[in-house]
A and B are shown apart, each in its own frame.
Chain A
Amino acid sequence: MRIILHVWRQKNAGEPGRMVRYELNNVNPHMSFLEMLDVLNEELTEKGEEPIAFDHDCREGICGMCGFMINGRAHGPEAGTTVCQLHMRHFKDGEELWLEPFRARAFPLIRDLAVDRSAFDRVIAAGGYISVNAGSAPDGNAIPVPKQAAEKAMDAAACIGCGACVAQCPNAAAALFLGAKVSHLGLLPQGQPERYERVLNMVGQAAREGFGSCTNIGECEAVCPKRIKLEVIARLNRDYVLATVKHLGAKQAAEAGAG
């Protein structure tokens, strides 16, 4: 099949970028989208043109490293799919596609379609964990977890940290990403001791990174390759409100008491 690509080319964050048109005439419908770009890059290299930079690694839809916009949609037109798992059979012969990097203030551009998503790591570092050192755990079955809680926690924990939610959101909010981690840990008994401090610290860090605020538009859910539900944002908001009201009050009281 024949595909026409318009790809955002930008050498680095300091130089201006532009769309460049490429025509591919021998696209096999069984190829993945990234395999099509591999083929294009081979052709470009043979012509002496620098290949298109794009992040990718596992190519199984689980590492979360790949991702860019296809016709304005993060990871392209198929629901629940990363670009590495998107196959060309979903496109029409002769179709024209515009590829752009994930754009958000918190995701500075590196080159072409590759961006820096380390802000996500810093948000997790602010509290997206359960504080337990190796060696101190009780027997695995000493902490029973209701099946339903485990399933819901797993639904949220499926987040791959690709950043599609941020890229699609008109506010460049990270609410779905935050909500996924806050829900995963907050639904489990192990996550209770740090539940409220966690949400305060993570939300605070996300704001410092330059992510926007959530206004419940829902585009994040529509493009999430792991189908994380908006429900996690509801849980995030609920825990955040509870944390500001109850937890801060309790903390201040504790500190006052201790003083």
Chain B
Amino acid sequence: MQLDAKCPGGPIETRWDRHKFNLKLVSPANKRKYTIIVVGSGLAGGAASATLAELGYNVKCYCYQDSPRRAHSIAAQGGINAAKNYQNDGDSVYRLFYDTVKGGDFRSRESNVYRLAQLSLDIIDHCVAQGIPFAREYGGVLANRSFGGAQVSRTFYARGQTGQQLLLGAYQAMQRQIAAGRLAMFPRHEMLELVLVNGRARGIVTRNLVTGKIESHVADAVVLGTGGYGNAYYLTTMAKGANATAIWRAYRKGALFANPCFTQIHPTCIPVTGEYQSKLTLMSESLRNDGRIWVPVRAGDRRPPNEIPEAERDYYLERRYPAFGNLVPRDIASRAAKQVCDEGRGVGPTGYGVYLDFRDAIERLGVSVIRERYGNLFEMYERLTGEDPYKVPMRIYPAIHYTMGGLWVDYNLMSTIPGLYVIGEANFSDHGANRLGASALMQGLADGYFILPYTIGDYLASTKFEKLSPEQGEFREAESQVRERIERLLSIRGRRTVDSLHRELGKLLWEYCGMARNAKGLEYALGKIPELREEFWNNVNVLGSGEEFNQALERAGRVADYMELAELICYDALHRNESCGGHFREEYQTAEGEALRNDAEYAYVAAWEFTGVGSPPKLHKEPLSFEYAKPTERSYK
């Protein structure tokens, strides 16, 4: 298979404009004749649903939650980047582009990233017009703050609830289109199969999560905005329901999966406390603006933090990276935390934690300023841990937070299946091997509001669609596959719960394909995963029936897919014999312990093709070339 990214050539500044001009248009009167299915209602899916409906298309949107307002974009705290340069501090579209390519450790497409930086401007304008209550200065203008991986202040925020506010903006825009009759919403519906007719994506099969009804839905194009696949790791900062089923079904139907091993570990999460733990909670990275990260100099120092004198504290990020200090990118901050904990200098009951200390910031700025900036985050920390961060330093530890990998898409956001588009975190497109803070919201909204609505029209206008019925063979067949799978899950009645198997898979992935990886560990995991999958299909216990509200059955279907996906993540990690961004292979590091890239051999997107369960996937390469942001060693010193 030849991968054609369809990136326009010529000067990078005008690529998107020229490309837009060359895209075919669907006339206003014809738009309502096309039906577009959007799966997922987060920032990408919600924005796309609303915008496509505004344009006049007939849109159907599906989500597993009880309302589109719940999608996990809502949990993003810190903010959204935009190259507005309102602070007059030297920001520009080009700088945001450069920071993002560099932050991604030179494993993303320049054309896509430049477009993303350009569209960041339109996103802020649109969100302000929607009534997003962004933070303001006294003069009434928009406020900004700085974030990891950048030396300018370009992050727009709404307290610690930026994701919530942006999502509610998209949700409200959706509700307006629902009222107008252009958008039909299907909450509590889970996509369980993608339907191809003559090689094109023409619909989906869903399960109504309340009644259990299996249904086919026909469309002219299908858009997946279903988020990342991090929950394969079990303990993550993702929502409990977030899952990879939609993208995994598409992968099994022929869509290539790109860079699955590029997973992001977020440095500032609340440490694990026990076996029962169901998920991890993120503390916004914005805390690193004023909080200082440290551990005791001496291994095994169990004194309470406030009794450890200044000279016996190691502010290891400030020491190792004086230019960026506590604001180094996420992958670097996470790895540094792991290193100090591996040296026995970690803090807290488990020894897997580091301090994030606000003592100096409170002395410098006063409690009221700190409260204004981070009050809700401090309150959340206290609620979860029972400790007051105004008095004792927070304890944090890295956790799986985001997946840069995802389904392969071209510049038009179309996967290798014609008519199947993938947007937001579900695709692999813009973040390379590491995503910078406050860039996920930017990408989701850029894809949904400003890219897909243009590019999908080109496909619709240039394709001839045969009329389909949900009664016809391809749909009937997909439905019976879905039913068989459900019946199989319900008929095993083994001795293990879904969660216990999921937890075991997650531990395996975290241990051998987490913050640091090596060939031996990955080979071990690749041996173990098929055994665990076997155990799952022979010994899982799912009670109840398929014709009712059955949350264990929902989870079982998702975990069944992780049992296959986990293998793909490890294959990808094993084949990439270099360290870059979130993918740190212990064999490939500099003398100082920094990631050692291998541009000569690995400057490509690894796109994998499904060849059957348990059979090694087939690798396809999309070479990456860098005309503007020349690859250098990523230094934050």
Where the two chains meet, the residues of A that have a C-beta atom closer than 8 Å to any C-beta of B are: 11-12, 28, 30-32, 34-36, 38-39, 41-42, 45-46, 48-51, 53, 55-65, 78, 80-81, 85, 87, 89, 110-111, 114, 116-118, 120-121, 124-126, 128-141, 143-147, 150-151, 153-154, 157-158, 160-161, 184-185, 188, 190-191
Q: Known: A125-B175, A135-B126, A161-B67. Is A42-B552 also a contact (CB below 8 A)? A: no
A and B contact pairs by CB, cutoff 8 A, 10 listed: A32-B278, A60-B281, A63-B72, A81-B383, A87-B383, A89-B386, A132-B130, A140-B134, A147-B136, A161-B67
Bitwise, B123-148 to A at CB < 8 A (1) or not (0) is 01111111101111111111000000
What B residues does A46 contact at CB under 8 A?
495, 497, 541
- Report the nearest B residue to A156, measured CB to CB: B133
Contact yes or no, A45 B126, CB < 8 A? no
A-B complex: 4 closest residue pairs judged by Cβ atoms: A144-B140, A129-B172, A137-B129, A125-B175
Contact yes or no, B133 A157, CB < 8 A? yes
| B532 CB–A CB distance under 8 Å | no
Please, how many angstroms separate the alpha-carbon atoms of A226 and B281 in the complex? 18
Contact yes or no, B274 A28, CB < 8 A? yes
Which of B105-113, B156-164, B320-328, B435-443 sits within the interface?
Answer: B156-164
| B277 CB–A CB distance under 8 Å | yes
- Report the nearest A residue to B498, measured CB to CB: A45
What A residues does B500 contact at CB under 8 A?
42
| B516 CB–A CB distance under 8 Å | no
Partner of B210, one of A63, A110, A129, A145: A110
Which of B260-268, B426-434, B543-551, B614-622 sits within the interface?
Answer: B543-551
Q: Known: A147-B140, A157-B168, A190-B128. Is A118-B383 also a contact (CB below 8 A)? A: no
Contact yes or no, A133 B54, CB < 8 A? yes
Please, how many angstroms separate the alpha-carbon atoms of A31 and B274 in the complex? 8
Bitwise, B305-335 to A at CB < 8 A (1) or not (0) is 0000000000000000000000000000000
Q: Known: A38-B278, A125-B176, A128-B175. Is A63-B239 also a contact (CB below 8 A)? A: yes
| B380 CB–A CB distance under 8 Å | yes
- Report the nearest A residue to B238, measured CB to CB: A58
- Report the nearest B residue to A139, measured CB to CB: B125
Contact yes or no, A63 B65, CB < 8 A? yes
CB distance from B243 to the nearest CB of A (A): 11
Please, how many angstroms separate the alpha-carbon atoms of A111 and B212 in the complex? 13
Contact yes or no, B137 A62, CB < 8 A? no
CB distance from A154 to the nearest CB of B (A): 4
Partner of A59, one of B54, B159, B239: B239
Contact yes or no, B164 A141, CB < 8 A? no
What A residues does B276 contact at CB under 8 A?
28, 31, 35-36, 38-39
Contact yes or no, A134 B453, CB < 8 A? yes
CB distance from A238 to the nearest CB of B (A): 19
Contact yes or no, B67 A146, CB < 8 A? no
| B241 CB–A CB distance under 8 Å | yes
- Report the nearest B residue to A141, measured CB to CB: B141
Contact yes or no, A125 B543, CB < 8 A? no
Q: Known: A45-B497, A134-B54. Is A60-B142 also a contact (CB below 8 A)? A: no
| B75 CB–A CB distance under 8 Å | yes
- Report the nearest B residue to A161, measured CB to CB: B69
What B residues does A158 contact at CB under 8 A?
161, 164
Contact yes or no, B131 A60, CB < 8 A? no
What B residues does A64 contact at CB under 8 A?
69-70
Q: Known: A57-B239, A129-B176, A138-B125. Is A51-B552 also a contact (CB below 8 A)? A: yes
| B465 CB–A CB distance under 8 Å | no
Contact yes or no, A131 B176, CB < 8 A? yes
| B171 CB–A CB distance under 8 Å | yes
What B residues does A51 contact at CB under 8 A?
543, 551-552
Partner of A65, one of B70, B122, B126, B277: B70
Interface size on B, residues (CB 8 A): 84
CB distance from B386 to the nearest CB of A (A): 6
- Report the nearest A residue to B448, measured CB to CB: A134
Contact yes or no, B279 A59, CB < 8 A? yes
Q: How many A-B residue pairs have CB under 8 A?
A: 218
What A residues does B216 contact at CB under 8 A?
none
| B499 CB–A CB distance under 8 Å | yes
Where the two chains meet, the residues of B that have a C-beta atom closer than 8 Å to any C-beta of A are: 47, 50-51, 54, 65-72, 74-75, 84, 86, 122, 124-131, 133-142, 158-159, 161, 163-165, 168, 171-173, 175-176, 178-179, 185, 187, 210, 237, 239-242, 273-274, 276-279, 281-282, 379-380, 383-384, 386, 449-450, 453, 495, 497, 499-500, 541, 543-544, 548-549, 551-552
Q: Known: A30-B274, A146-B136, A158-B161. Is A125-B54 also a contact (CB below 8 A)? A: no
Please, how many angstroms separate the alpha-carbon atoms of A147 and B185 in the complex? 36
Contact yes or no, B131 A121, CB < 8 A? no
Contact yes or no, A143 B544, CB < 8 A? no
What A residues does B187 contact at CB under 8 A?
118, 121
What B residues does A190 contact at CB under 8 A?
128-131
What B residues does A154 contact at CB under 8 A?
133, 158-159, 161, 165
Please, how many angstroms separate the alpha-carbon atoms of A12 and B176 in the complex? 31
Contact yes or no, B450 A134, CB < 8 A? yes
What B residues does A161 contact at CB under 8 A?
67, 69
Please, how many angstroms separate the alpha-carbon atoms of A139 and B454 in the complex? 21
Contact yes or no, B543 A121, CB < 8 A? no
Contact yes or no, A117 B541, CB < 8 A? no
Please, how many angstroms separate the alpha-carbon atoms of A78 and B379 in the complex? 13
Contact yes or no, A130 B131, CB < 8 A? yes
Interface centre among B72, B136, B449, by most chain A C-beta atoms within 10 angstroms, is B136
- Report the nearest B residue to A89, measured CB to CB: B386
Please, how many angstroms separate the alpha-carbon atoms of A184 and B165 in the complex? 11
What B residues does A137 contact at CB under 8 A?
122, 125-126, 128-129
What B residues does A39 contact at CB under 8 A?
276
Contact yes or no, B172 A60, CB < 8 A? no
Contact yes or no, A134 B384, CB < 8 A? no
Contact yes or no, B383 A85, CB < 8 A? yes
Besides A34-B278, A125-B178, A128-B172, 17 other CB < 8 A contacts?
Answer: A11-B548, A28-B273, A28-B276, A45-B497, A63-B65, A63-B74, A85-B383, A110-B549, A111-B548, A121-B68, A121-B185, A125-B176, A130-B130, A145-B136, A151-B133, A153-B131, A154-B133
What A residues does B453 contact at CB under 8 A?
134
Q: Known: A38-B278, A50-B544. Is A143-B128 also a contact (CB below 8 A)? A: yes
Please, how many angstroms separate the alpha-carbon atoms of A114 and B66 in the complex? 10
What B residues does A81 contact at CB under 8 A?
383
Contact yes or no, B380 A61, CB < 8 A? yes
Contact yes or no, A130 B67, CB < 8 A? no
CB distance from A91 to the nearest CB of B (A): 13
Please, how many angstroms separate the alpha-carbon atoms of A81 and B74 in the complex? 17
